Structure 1
Amino acid sequence: MCLGTVLLFLGDLGGGEMMVIMMAVLLLFGADKIPGIARGLGRGIREFKDATNEIKHELERSIEDDDKPKKV
């Protein structure tokens, strides 16, 4: 799902456009900072997905609790 979102965001970028983007990133941040940036981006994406899954599970549990008959 994440790959689909990335591909949707990138649209119809070809090889030349991707090369220009990579060169711009290399010039802006330098070769030594790129792994750290990628690592931080990966952590951020993972935390976002974990939070999304946690909210989803809480909603599912809430729905299940509402469906159970309550003892009076």
Structure 2
Amino acid sequence: MGGLGTPELLIILAVIILLFGAAKLPELARGSGRALRIFKAETKGLMDDDDEKPVVGSAATTPAEKTQAQLELETRQRDLAARQAELDAEAEKLRRDNPA
């Protein structure tokens, strides 16, 4: 671990306990764990996005495939817009029925 031995690690741990207090250590560890999980998920997502993008000029980027992807995207957008309209109508109905 970079030339850190047991005595050095114990000194670092003692300094951390003195700075944050023993009661704050579990909360600090939890927060650090969450931050690392989020960071890992985001970097994995970025790598997945890079893997999914076709290389320009390759055989996978024919105009027909671009058109198919655009059609799928437009269909999903229409479905989402319809669902949003349904939810807005339901919310408006609830507001009218329950004027608080």
By the TM > 0.5 criterion, same fold? yes
Which structure 2 residues correspond to residues 1-72 of structure 1 after superposition, within 5 A? 7=1, 11-63=2-54, 67=58, 68-70=60-62, 71=64
Q: CA RMSD in A?
A: 2.1
Structure possessing the higher radius of gyration over alpha carbons: 2
Aligned CA distance change for structure 1 residues 66 and 38 (closer, same or farther; 3 Å): farther
Partners of 2:11 and 2:61 in 1: how far apart? 61
Deviation at 1:69, TM superposition (A): 4.3
Provide TM-score, normalisation by structure 1. Answer: 0.77
Q: Which ranges of structure 1 fall in alignment gaps of 5 or more residues?
A: 1-6
Aligned CA distance change for structure 1 residues 66 and 29 (closer, same or farther; 3 Å): farther
Misfit runs of 4+, over 4 Å: 64-67
Aligned CA distance change for structure 1 residues 18 and 60 (closer, same or farther; 3 Å): same
- The structure, 1 or 2, with the larger RCO (C-alpha pairs under 8 Å, 6+ apart) is 1
Q: Which ranges of structure 2 fall in alignment gaps of 5 or more residues?
A: 68-100
Identity %: 33
Provide TM-score, normalisation by structure 2. Answer: 0.57
The count of aligned residue pairs is 63
